[in-house]
Amino acid sequence: MRHHRLFAGTSAVAVFALAPASVPAYAETVRPTSGAADAVRENPGPVDAEGADAEPGAVRNPQVGGALLTTRGIAVHRDAPRLPKVAASSFLIADAETGQVLAARNAHGRFLPASTLKILTALTLIPKLDKAKKIKPSHEACNTEGSAVGLVPTVSYSVDDLLRALMVVSGNDAAVALAEANGGLKPTLAAMNAEAKRLQAYNTVAKTPNGLDKPGQVSSAYDLALLARDGLKNPTFRGYIATKVADFPAPKGKTYQIANHNRLLWQYKGGLGVKNGYTSKARASFVGAAKRNGHTIIVTLMRSDAPFWEDAKEMLDWGFAARGKVAPVGQLVDPVDPAAEKAKAAPAAPLPTAPVAGAQTALQGSGDSLPIPLLAAVGAGGVVGAVAFTLYRRRRARRSEPSL
């Protein structure tokens, strides 16, 4: 990719007062509504496991994905199509194939995720649970507040049924039942937070499996895009989010029909679904994706006004228009490779206590031999010392010769 020179200048978009003296040519930043004084907050390091310092809107690990995503304003290439007006406090538009972030506002700002957190629940439990496994949910699961699929403790549900209910009708009761199938809330939340870390979604802390508001539970538009991108690579996940209608088990062997809450599956050409959410504290959140002409665009919204469907459609339209034509302002990073991390964490091998292969050969023909104690000490770095010792002896011998 062509690198742009840094420069400072004026444009049609205001640059907030605390911006660096020079701004990348492909980054424009809009003054945030909260004012320039808190435009940028850098809190390096991954979020702590308990999320004790979670603060809605605060930025964590701003360098993940690129420095241009550190602002609470808008980052977009100045030659890109004009962005639609979006009511959300935070949003992101990305190319799913390349991972390029095409535009964003407050990408790393941390907000209550509401039911978009169920994306992480599904990504965590799909590989852990047998889809055919049957579960009788507890009374606690069946009585979970908020959106529900209508579980009853007298019916056995398959994991497949529950995962579909989780993503199609945002069943909070299904989320708790799935956690029970995985050994309970504690191991499930631990696994969810470990999965977020593997995906480098460091702004995300899960405190519930269903996204119901709880102190310390947060995510970001950037992290939600990471989760969606990973999920779109999984055929099972794609099948759940693309389901428009499905039959769901009811008592006495009967079924009833459930329908997807994601309107874009019906209203947007190429819509792939993903997940929407809402609570009174979180306000509206949304993760959506669509595919056209072989290319997939991901959009995320956090702390938005409802309804947000038109905003989402316009963001997708913008993403398809900009994809491959404008320079990105960031990157959706790839998941951490567990094998590479394990190798990185492994202790360094001790220095050898015997000569490395070839050490003796390197000294042959010198006319000198090394004392046994010194030879035994030659290791990976000892060859250099041994050669130096030999040269020293040669110089000493020459000094003792008579001058002619």
Active site positions, annotated: 115, 118, 170
* DSSP 8-state assignment for residue 246: E
Q: What are phi and psi of 355, to 5 degrees?
A: -60, 140
| 8 A C-beta contact, residue 177 and residue 165 | no
How far is Cα 126 from Cα 305, in angstroms, rounded to an integer? Answer: 31
**What is the full DSSP assignment across 125-178?**
HTTTS-TT-EE---HHHHT-SSS-----TTS-EEHHHHHHHHHHS--HHHHHHH
List % helix, strand, coil for the chain (3-state, nearest 5): 35, 15, 50
Q: Which two tokens stand for residue 55?
A: 């603060």
User: Which of these, 121, 10, 15, lies nearest to 68 by C-alpha position?
Assistant: 15
User: Which of these, 50, 39, 356, lies nearest to 214 by C-alpha position?
Assistant: 50
| 8 A C-beta contact, residue 276 and residue 285 | yes
User: Which of these, 225, 233, 261, 226, lies nearest to 246 by C-alpha position?
Assistant: 261
